[in-house]
Chains A and B, each alone.
Chain A
């Protein structure tokens, strides 16, 4: 649209134009040029910063995984192709029967010693350098089958990340909706409830992690609270037990972030026109029918947003793990981002860590695409 010039009475606008400062030229062509120049000038500072601190790092994220980059190393960085990804992703099944064990480790040898001869460096076997991810060894220790992985921690981290997301997404999303429905109904004190449910969101995750680490101790409040309900409860140190550490972190993470999604749901609920509820009431719909026919369809877009944001946040879980457990006990709480941090920052292996980050990103992208596809089909 060419400003004042196009709309009638050119004479008048021309007289005004003459009073204008010079940076706003008279001829339309010059004016467009000036507008373009100003527009680029305004946008330039942000774009330069984004180029340096977002676009280039994105390019690096995609390329460093193919190198042996170290954080600070006198040697130049070399291109190593897919070898980081091979180390990271390689996984092989192996079954050793008694005959093979005898052949590898002699008549007295066990399946473990036989395995070690296959995986030790310089053995020249396809299993060289791999470690045991899971095993089932016969009672006499003379035979067994194994899953071997180049990096067992990666598969454990991947599994933990998946478990975390699979639990957190439905529970946090559902609980958030429940809380939103609660504070959306008209009653005294709903602002109070809304504030209370949202409070943990503004807390730093480090603070929340440390606070809950204390609550989860063996003589801590959580155990005492359970004991008050079930007197026969045997207290456990939640974060020190491989079977409870991840669930404990999951519960606390839901507690911290559910308020955020309550607000998103609430915003969605408030876009549903009140007339629809009145119509449903007139048709004699009960609460459940109203929910399935009016509320839920009206929340479709909110649903997609909540689903995607919770999933991405859940896949990126890091702070809780680094503060509370450092990935332990027995790697039971390590996640992809935590592993990438430990490799890249802890061991300075930026190349390998970037490969992990790359896998993490592909995972996020896949999940986002699948969710978009799923929800789009529902639209049609």
Chain B
């Protein structure tokens, strides 16, 4: 009797792991294929397609693709562009959005209800709806250009770093997230600080920010991912090669067919270089990543 129960349990567990393993293969194999192929010559990639060798680093393996890649496209430049844009959007965003949320959550002033209502209302507007009007708008906005060394007033933000950064610093969802979090910190702490002569800025810097680590992490991750991966907007506003972020550079590289066909090996090298750092980042910060996404669901 007990043996059959035990046997059944073992069977169930085996089936469970088998299902899990099969599913993980479906998720992992394309990525393994990508990374492995980036080290193979073009012929080798196609020869291996029909067998398990496609997922193994065997045969004509080397760094040729990567060398070829760096001589074909200014990949380092794309990298710097992506890093610059992401870090500025996330960094400035954390400051400006948390300050705004602090102003809304912990001070009382007339009109804050309306401000909050408008913020929440804008959350339902998908960026895809706004992309084209925004393009039209930034194309007509005044811009101070430093191209000639002296500041010069021109029109149109197209082909600048600013157009990739400034529109995304303030983020209604981030503000909303911070407001929720700041409200959970007891206001008595503020009062104690006021008695000691602190102003609001001190309360923000010395009390609220240090207590809000999870909120900052969530906001940082949830704004970093879409900006690092963003494609629609930079495709429209950046034509100059030197200003392109990684995904746009990759797409141009993919679409520009050469005489010898699509250079798959180099493309796999490029996709690997785009993906690996963020995967490492994800695996290291797995907990906060998952918590951020989970937070966005609970609060939303």
Complex alpha-carbon distance, A309 and B166, angstroms: 26
Nearest CB in chain A: distance from B113 CB, A? 12
Complex alpha-carbon distance, A234 and B282, angstroms: 39
Closest to A224 in B: B50
Our pick among A71, A214, A302, A309 for the contact of B135 (Cβ within 8 Å) is A71
Indicate whether B91 reaches chain A with its CB closer than 8 angstroms. no
Complex alpha-carbon distance, A53 and B127, angstroms: 11
In the bound complex, residues from chain A placing their C-beta under 8 Å from that of B296 are: 264
Measuring CB to CB, which residues of chain B are less than 8 angstroms from any residue of chain A? 13, 16, 19-20, 23-24, 26-28, 30-31, 33-34, 46, 49-50, 54, 96-97, 99-100, 102-104, 107-112, 115, 118-119, 122, 124-137, 139, 166-170, 172, 175, 187, 191, 194-197, 199-200, 204, 225, 228-229, 231-232, 235-236, 246-248, 250-251, 254, 264, 267-268, 271, 274-275, 278-279, 281-283, 286, 289-290, 293-298, 300
Interface residues on A, range: 35 or more
Contact check, A54 vs B33: say whether CB atoms are below 8 A apart: no
Contact check, B130 vs A16: say whether CB atoms are below 8 A apart: no
Complex alpha-carbon distance, A24 and B139, angstroms: 44
Main secondary structure of the interface of A (DSSP, over half): helix
Complex alpha-carbon distance, A55 and B295, angstroms: 26
Contact check, A364 vs B129: say whether CB atoms are below 8 A apart: yes
Our pick among A185, A195, A206, A221 for the contact of B250 (Cβ within 8 Å) is A206
Contact with B along A194-237 (1 / 0, CB 8 A): 11111111111111001111110001110010000000000000
Indicate whether A319 reaches chain B with its CB closer than 8 angstroms. yes
Nearest CB in chain A: distance from B198 CB, A? 9
Contact check, A24 vs B194: say whether CB atoms are below 8 A apart: yes
Contact check, B194 vs A3: say whether CB atoms are below 8 A apart: yes
Contact check, A43 vs B27: say whether CB atoms are below 8 A apart: no
Our pick among B110, B132, B228, B268 for the contact of A350 (Cβ within 8 Å) is B132
Given the known inter-chain contacts A197-B23, A219-B49, please indicate yes or no for A368 contacting B103, CB distance below 8 A.
Answer: no
Our pick among B130, B264, B295 for the contact of A54 (Cβ within 8 Å) is B130
Main secondary structure of the interface of B (DSSP, over half): helix
Closest to A182 in B: B20
Closest to A210 in B: B254
Complex alpha-carbon distance, A191 and B50, angstroms: 32
Indicate whether A165 reaches chain B with its CB closer than 8 angstroms. no
Contact check, B271 vs A263: say whether CB atoms are below 8 A apart: no
Our pick among B24, B108, B225, B251 for the contact of A39 (Cβ within 8 Å) is B108
Nearest CB in chain A: distance from B236 CB, A? 5
Indicate whether A187 reaches chain B with its CB closer than 8 angstroms. yes
In the bound complex, residues from chain A placing their C-beta under 8 Å from that of B19 are: 182
Cross-chain pairs A/B with CB under 8 angstroms, 14 sampled = A39-B108, A43-B100, A43-B112, A182-B16, A189-B20, A195-B282, A202-B278, A207-B250, A210-B250, A224-B50, A259-B27, A341-B131, A357-B129, A360-B126
Nearest CB in chain B: distance from A204 CB, A? 4
Contact with B along A293-335 (1 / 0, CB 8 A): 0000000001001100100100110110011000000000000
Complex alpha-carbon distance, A32 and B97, angstroms: 23
Contact with B along A48-59 (1 / 0, CB 8 A): 011001111110
Given the known inter-chain contacts A43-B103, A207-B271, A210-B267, please indicate yes or no for A198 contacting B290, CB distance below 8 A.
Answer: yes
If A182-B19, A214-B267, A264-B293 are given as contacts, then 4 extra A-B residue pairs at C-beta distance below 8 Å, sorted by A number, are A49-B166, A203-B31, A315-B126, A354-B136
Indicate whether A23 reaches chain B with its CB closer than 8 angstroms. yes
B30, B102, B130, B204: which has the most chain A beta carbons within 10 Å?
A: B30
Given the known inter-chain contacts A4-B191, A202-B282, A260-B293, please indicate yes or no for A42 contacting B100, CB distance below 8 A.
Answer: yes
A53, A57, A211: which has the most chain B beta carbons within 10 Å?
A: A57
Contact check, B170 vs A53: say whether CB atoms are below 8 A apart: yes
Our pick among A61, A203, A206 for the contact of B251 (Cβ within 8 Å) is A206
Given the known inter-chain contacts A195-B286, A364-B129, please indicate yes or no for A71 contacting B136, CB distance below 8 A.
Answer: yes
Nearest CB in chain B: distance from A346 CB, A? 10
Q: Would you list which residues of chain A between 53 and 72 have a CB under 8 Å from chain B?
A: 53-58, 60-61, 64, 69, 71-72
Nearest CB in chain B: distance from A28 CB, A? 12
Our pick among A197, A202, A354 for the contact of B27 (Cβ within 8 Å) is A197
Contact check, B194 vs A57: say whether CB atoms are below 8 A apart: no
Contact with B along A259-299 (1 / 0, CB 8 A): 11001101110010000000000000000000000000000
Indicate whether A21 reaches chain B with its CB closer than 8 angstroms. yes
Given the known inter-chain contacts A69-B136, A196-B24, please indicate yes or no for A221 contacting B274, CB distance below 8 A.
Answer: no
In the bound complex, residues from chain B placing their C-beta under 8 Å from that of A49 are: 96, 166-167, 169-170
